[in-house]
Amino acid sequence: MKMLSLALAAFAAATVASNAQVRVTEYSHKGLFGEYFEVAYLGATGTTQDLTGWKFNDNSGTASTGIALPAVILNPNQTVIVTEISAGLFEQAWYGERGVSAPASLVDYVENNQRNLGKTDEIRIFNAGGTQVDTVSITSALDTEDAPAVLNAARTSFVFASTVAGQFKAGAPAGNGPTGSPGIVAP
C-alpha cells in the first residue's frame, strides 16, 4: 500500500510540474493578420503533455466558461496557435507569402476564435482539472499591434518579438507584415 501511495504521489508531482510547463509564449492582441497567441509545452526532453480537456479564457472567464484547446499531445517546444482568423489564412499570411511551410513545431490551431483580447486583458490557460496554470496580462505598456510579444529566454517576461533572434516578418517577400515567430518557441 505504501508503494502505491508513493507512486501516486510521484505521478501527481510529475503532473503538476508538467502542467507548469505549458505556457503562453507569444501573443499579438491586434495585428495586421488578426490577433493570436501561442501555447507551448516547455517541458524537458523526452516528456510530453496531453492537452485533452485543457481550456483558455480571457480575464472575464474561468475554466468552466473557457474554450477548449485541441486534444493533442505536445512534445517539448511544440505549439498550438489560437487565432481569430482561419488556420488557412493564418498560414498564408505568416508562412505562405514567404514561400515556406508552417513549422513542424506547430501542431494544431484553434481558429476563428471570437474571445477577443484587448490592450488590458489577460490570457488564462487551464489544465484538464480546471486549475489555472498560466496567466499573461496584456498591458498597454507592451502594445502588440503589428509587433507581437514573445516570452524572453529566461521565461520571466515578455519582450517585443523584433528584439529576439529567429523572428521573421510576415507577408510578402517585401516583409510588410508584423515581426514574430508563431509556431516556433523563441530561444
Question: What are the structural domains of the chain?
Answer: 2-180 (2.60.40.1260)
Closest CA to 144 of 114, 175, 178, 116: 178
Reduced to 3 states, what is the DSSP secondary structure of residue 21?
coil
For residues 14 and 186, give the distance between their C-alpha atoms in angstroms, rounded to a whole number: 25
**pLDDT tens sequence across 144-186:** 655 677 777 677 777 777 777 777 777 755 566 777 888 888 7
Closest CA to 39 of 141, 112, 108: 108
**pLDDT tens sequence across 14-63:** 344 445 699 998 888 766 677 888 999 999 999 999 999 999 998 877 89
Cα 78 versus chain centre, distance: 9
Reduced to 3 states, what is the DSSP secondary structure of residue 143?
coil
